[in-house]
Structures are given as C-alpha cells and as structure tokens.
Amino acid sequence: MAQRRLTAIAEGQVQGVGFRHLVSTVARQLGVQGWVANMPDGTVKIVAEAEEAMLESFLVRIQVRGCPADVCSLRTSWSKPTGEFSGFEVRFAE
C-alpha cells in the first residue's frame, strides 16, 4: 500500500489534558512517523506519514471523547509524503 502524509487539526478540549501524549503513543504503536504540537489558537496539529491504512487506524484511535481529552472535530487533509521523519515527536510550537 502507498505511503501518505496526513495533516490533522484537532479541536475541542485537547490542550493540557495529555492529548499530545496519547497521539504520540498511538503513533509509535502503529509505526507512524511525524509530530504533534499545541497551536496558539487552542487546537492541536498533527503531521504524520505512513501507509494509508495505518493512518486511518491512527485517526480512529486518537478521536477520544470524554474526560479529560475531548476531540470535538478533527479536520484532515492528505498529500504525498516527504519522507522527512525518522520517528514521532511531541513539539512545543510549529
């Protein structure tokens, strides 16, 4: 299956509740590469590369609802991978 690049913006109660840790843990479990960061507007941005099926599974697993994290919406866009990542990291600003 072909590699893809996913860019996602998570909205809701996603900062200060361990959401970035969850995203990085799931990414590492699935072999997804890229990064996750809190944005100044209160959202969390995710950039990830892997096989498309892996990324679809990744998206399902990070769409948590309830307490403490609550993802109200997840806007996604897809593009060609760049191959620039060698792992998955938590960033503190884009």
Residue 88 counted as domain residue: no
Residue 89 counted as domain residue: no
Range of the domain at 41: 3-80
Mean pLDDT of the residues in the chain:
94
Condensed to tens digits (0 to 9), the pLDDT of residues 42-74 reads 999 999 999 999 999 999 999 988 878 999 999
User: Considering its fold, how many domains does the chain have in total?
Assistant: 1
Q: CATH no. for residue 48? A: 3.30.70.100
The pTM of the whole model exceeds 0.85: yes
Residue 92 counted as domain residue: no
Residue 65 counted as domain residue: yes
- Cα gap 75→45, rounded to integer Å: 10
Q: Using pLDDT thresholds of 50, 70 and 90, give the confidence band for residue 92.
A: confident
Active site amino acids:
20, 38
- pLDDT attached to residue 66: 84
Residue 24 counted as domain residue: yes
Question: What one-character DSSP code corresponds to residue 61?
Answer: H
- pLDDT attached to residue 24: 97
Q: Report the half-sphere exposure of 26 (CA within 13 A, side-chain side).
A: 20
Residue 86 counted as domain residue: no
